[in-house]
Amino acid sequence: MKMLIAYIETTMFPRNLAAGQLSGEVFSISQTEVFTVSRFNDKAAADKIMSLMKDELKEIAKGSKMTVLEGPLLIKG
């Protein structure tokens, strides 16, 4: 898990932020589970970033259970 988190932190997030992702956060659920929240300006930007990560996500999914959820922000506090 530490290797995956390090990869996200040092490779994926910096590249995605440079390409237009607004923010990215990684939360720990347990010692073996994490989830990420990524924010984008719009659906087109999200699709662009997701296409950059397509091959990486396939590789990560080989050794991990992964679910991708999409949706608009409903409440901003």
Give domain limits for the chain: 2-63
Confidence of residue 68 (pLDDT cuts 50, 70, 90): confident
Lowest mean pLDDT among 9-13, 14-18, 59-63: 59-63
* pTM score: 0.80
Residue 73 confidence (pLDDT) above 90? no
Q: In sequence order, which residues have a C-beta less than 8 Å from that of residue 58 and are 6 or more positions away? A: none
Q: Which pLDDT does position 42 carry in this prediction?
A: 92
DSSP H helical ranges for 8-70: 13-18, 43-63
Architecture of domain 2-63: 2-Layer Sandwich (3.30)
**Among 12, 69, 59, 66, residue whose Cα is nearest residue 34:** 66
Residue 64 confidence (pLDDT) above 90? no
**Among 22, 1, 24, residue whose Cα is nearest residue 11:** 24
